[in-house]
A and B are shown apart, each in its own frame.
Chain A
Amino acid sequence: MSVKKLGLKQRYAHMTRGLDWETTYQPMDKVFPYDSFEGIKIKDWSAWEDPFRLTMDSYWKFQAEKERKLYAVIDAFAQNNGQTGITDGRYANVLKLFLTGISPEEYQAHRGFAFAGRHLRGVGPRVAAQMQSLDELRHIQTQIHTISHYNKYFDGIGEFPHMHDRVWYLSVPKSFFDDARSAGPFEFMIAIGFAFEYVLTNLLFVPFMSGAAYNGDMSTVTFGFSAQSDESRHMTLGIEVIKFLLEQHPDNLPIVQKWVDKWFWRGHRVLGLVAMMMDYMLPKPVMSWKEAWQIYYTEAGGALFQDLARYGLRPPKYADIATAEAEHISHQNWAIFYQYTHAAAFHTWAPDAKHMDWLSEKYPNTFDKYYRPRWEMWNQMAKEGKRFYNMALPQLCQCCQIPMGYTEPGDPTTICFRSSQYKGETYHFCSDGCKDIFDAEPEKFVQSWLPVHQIFQGNCGGATIPDVLNYYRLANGADNMDYVGSPDEKLWNEWQADKLKTAV
């Protein structure tokens, strides 16, 4: 007698909901202590819908197949010396930024979803969160394997986990995830699952993966494809979680709105690193940050929030400010790294005349007026042998931890200074968005580990630049400073010379 196979839906029911039970030795509230303190009210956990209906056994099969394909491409890339076929040696710095600034956050996302996957009471979201947790772990692993090939040739790659915990600008993405992971499971799901993975994810992955494709980096492109089907599952989880919370109880709306406002702004600040990568670091640019923001936030996000309006949810507070900032942040961020190049784990450079013309065309309202003169001044100084460095440490925002280099909305010539008083001490912020986040939970943000203040307190290996670089494990003269004159550039030029010889 043949055994009748289960349908997909039945199978899903058995392999997820069927594995759950009501505890009897201990009350459910004690087993799931984290899913009530945030004030979110859930009346019916079984109302959770998972459109993917993926079970763990098919998940393994599916992922294993993708891994086989990815590793075949990575091997072929290495065997064919794919690193010599990228557009320019400068491109490697995009990978350094990704591996030090983004990959460790995949790991943090893995930890965060593992926590949500343990502490949400409903089995549907719990299983979905567990799978996403495994995805994120797979992502950091495949990213390390993909980029490790470049580590054989380029500087600034090998110490990425150590750097993530210490280097001043990496505290920006680190503190973003630390904030999300030290919140409750529902806030984490809205922060990372919805705001980051749904609303903003295309502004992170599309630029890096298209940037790789445009610049001859086939291994990173393949990683991107391998992660793509995971990302679409993550987006589905993100949208499902927000709809679920809003449908469960009207009291959830103000809490969810507060989180959407907060995490949109925090995400926007972190993505400023992507903005400068797109506009300044890609030897062959894909599109400008402003264009990407228009497509992926203004248009796609606009449609999304129109759809969510039926729940009473409005678009994130300060979305208009973020849109206005799209004219400025890439220029302001790259200027920060240009003047602190001695403390960066990747190389910097000033845009040349051709690249500046591209920026003028992409930013007709702002580049020629505010940013071209800055680069022209710095290029002139460099020509005279007086390359511009900022030899003091920057004031940092207490919330996003970025140097306070952003300008007043509507006035690109004046820095935006905001501050709050809490228990007799002053705290400084780069924007109203960051100030609001602090004011809502000052107890949390007075604990920020601000790299500049930590150096002053004597906690970062010493008071001089070499002391601090040593503490960061940042190799002075190799990992940092301008691309021109770096060991990376020397190696790249040797490869080009070899190619010419071979051609002759």
Chain B
Amino acid sequence: MSVTAITPDYETHIEFRDAEKNFHGNRVVYVHWEQHLSFCSAIAFPLPPAMPFGAFVEEVIKPHYSAHPDAAHVDWSKVVWMIDGEKKTPDFSKSLEDNGLHHKSLVRFWTPGFEGYKGSAS
């Protein structure tokens, strides 16, 4: 135990507050559109692990980034994906789980040719 505590059994009282079981069958997934910092940070969603990656793109990613002027012009077949630090080519027909997404996975994506408002990464 590395925490400095007066109670020697501190560890037995810990509540892992964000354990997967607390999310009613969903997993938390974070997604971030690189070079588009008008979205201030990655955004978070509770999603069923069986959701196909394609549905994740169509129903979650696209609508939430649609406010950006670049959004309508993105060619989704050219998007570069990174899942938990590794460059990957996700299979859109397979589930989030089969594409290697865990609870609290981070999905970052780059849209070549679109570097934010006037190329400012905004």
Contacts and interface: CB of A to CB of B under 8 A. Distances in A.
A425 B103 contact: yes
A39 B17 CA distance: 29
B89 to A, nearest CB: 20
B17 A456 contact: no
A174 B35 CA distance: 32
Given A34-B6, A373-B122, A443-B2, A390 B40 contact: yes
A279 to B, nearest CB: 16
Given A389-B67, A417-B106, A425-B104, A395 B11 contact: no
B79 interface: no
Interface residues of A, number: 60
A504 interface: no
B5 A37 contact: yes
B120 A457 contact: no
Contact of A446 (B16, B41, B44, B45): B16
Contacts, number: 152
A453 B29 CA distance: 11
B38 interface: yes
Contacts of B84: 426
A395 B6 contact: no
A87 to B, nearest CB: 28
Interface string B1-39: 111111000110011111110111010101010110111
Nearest to A33: B6
A332 B23 contact: no
A415 B106 CA distance: 12
Contacts of A373: 116-118, 120, 122
B40 A394 contact: yes
Nearest to A337: B40
A427 B18 CA distance: 10
B40 A403 contact: yes
A336 interface: yes
A447 B45 CA distance: 20
Given A374-B37, A456-B23, A456-B28, A448 B17 contact: yes
A394 B120 contact: no
B67 A405 contact: no
B51 interface: no
Contact of B40 (A332, A426, A442): A332
A449 B17 contact: yes
Q: Which residue among A339, A392, A426 has the maximum number of chain B CB atoms within 10 Å of its CB?
A: A392
A378 interface: yes
B121 interface: yes
B64 interface: yes
Contacts of B118: 373, 377
A215 to B, nearest CB: 27
A414 interface: yes
Contacts of A413: 35, 37, 121
Contacts of A404: 41-42
Contacts of A33: 6
A442 B2 contact: yes
Contacts of A339: 38-40
B55 interface: no
A441 B11 CA distance: 11
Contact of B38 (A374, A425, A444): A374
Interface residues of B, number: 50
B122 A428 contact: no
B117 A395 contact: no
Nearest to A394: B41
A428 B30 contact: yes
A388 interface: yes
A188 to B, nearest CB: 12
Interface string A454-498: 001110000000000000000000000000000000000000000
Interface in B26-85: 26, 28, 30, 32, 34-35, 37-46, 64, 67, 69, 84
B17 A447 contact: yes
A15 interface: no
A442 B2 CA distance: 8
B18 A450 contact: yes
Contact of B14 (A369, A443, A452): A443
B118 to A, nearest CB: 6
Interface string B81-122: 000100000000000000000111110100000001110111
Contacts of A38: 4
13 contacts: A335-B38, A335-B40, A373-B116, A373-B120, A389-B67, A394-B43, A395-B30, A396-B44, A425-B104, A426-B84, A428-B106, A443-B11, A452-B44
Given A395-B30, A404-B41, 15 more contacts: A33-B6, A37-B5, A377-B122, A386-B67, A395-B106, A403-B40, A413-B35, A413-B121, A415-B32, A425-B18, A426-B103, A444-B3, A447-B14, A453-B28, A453-B44
Interface of A: 33-34, 37-39, 183-184, 187, 332, 335-336, 339, 369-370, 373-374, 376-378, 381, 386, 388-396, 403-405, 407, 412-415, 417, 419, 423, 425-428, 440-444, 446-450, 452-453, 456-458
Closest 8 CB pairs of A and B: A392-B43, A413-B121, A373-B120, A374-B122, A395-B42, A405-B40, A443-B3, A377-B117
